[in-house]
Amino acid sequence: MPSLRSRLRTLAVATFGRRALKAVLYGVIAFPLALVGFFLTLVGLAFGGALSVTTLGLWLLAATVRGSLALGALQRGLARRLLGLEIEQPSAGDGGKGVLGWRRGILLDRTGWRAVGCALLTPFTAVFAYAAVVIGYVYGVLFTLHPLLKRWNYNTVHTTDGTTHHSSTHHVSLEFFGYQLDSWPRWLIPFTAGLLLLAVAPLLLRYALGPHRALLTVLLGPDAATRRIRTLEETRARAVDDAAATLRRIERDLHDGTQARLVALAMHLTLIRELVTAGAAADRVLTAVDTAQGNATQAITDLRHLVKGIHPPVLDEGLHAALTTLAADSALPVTLTTDIGTRPTPAVETIAYFCAAELLANATKHAHATAAAVDVTARDGILRLRVTDDGQGGAMIGAGSGLTGLLARVRTVDGTLTCDSPHGGPTVVTVELPHT
Q: Which of 151, 186, 193, 145 is nearest to 172 (CA)?
A: 151
| Model confidence pLDDT, tens digit, residues 151-181 | 543 344 444 455 544 444 444 455 544 455 5
Q: What does the alpha-carbon distance between residue 237 and residue 40 come to, in Å, rounded to a whole number?
A: 42
Out of 261, 286, 310, pick the residue that ends a domain: 310
| 97 and 233 co-located in one domain | no
Buried b (16+ CB within 10 A) or exposed e, 353-364: bbbbbbbbebbb
Same domain (yes/no): 40, 111: yes
CATH number at residue 326: 3.30.565.10
Give 316-370 pLDDT, tens digit per residue. 788 888 888 888 888 888 888 888 877 888 888 888 888 888 888 888 887 788 8
Q: Which domain holds residue 33?
A: 1-222
Q: What does the pLDDT read at residue 255?
A: 66
Residues 255 and 206 in one domain: no
Q: What distance in Å separates the CA atoms of residue 218 and residue 421, rounded to the nearest whole number?
A: 29
Q: Please report which confidence band the pLDDT of residue 287 belongs to, taking 50, 70 and 90 as the band edges.
A: confident
Window from 38-42, 99-103, 151-155, 341-345 with minimum mean pLDDT: 151-155
Give the amino acid at 57. G
Element (H, E) at 320: helix 319-329
- pLDDT tens track for 54-92: 888 888 988 899 999 999 999 999 999 988 888 877 766
pTM of the predicted model as reported, rounded to 2 decimal places:
0.55
Chosen domain end from 222, 243, 274: 222
State which of 283, 310, 337 marks the end of a domain: 310
389 backbone dihedrals φ, ψ, rounded to 5° = -135, 160
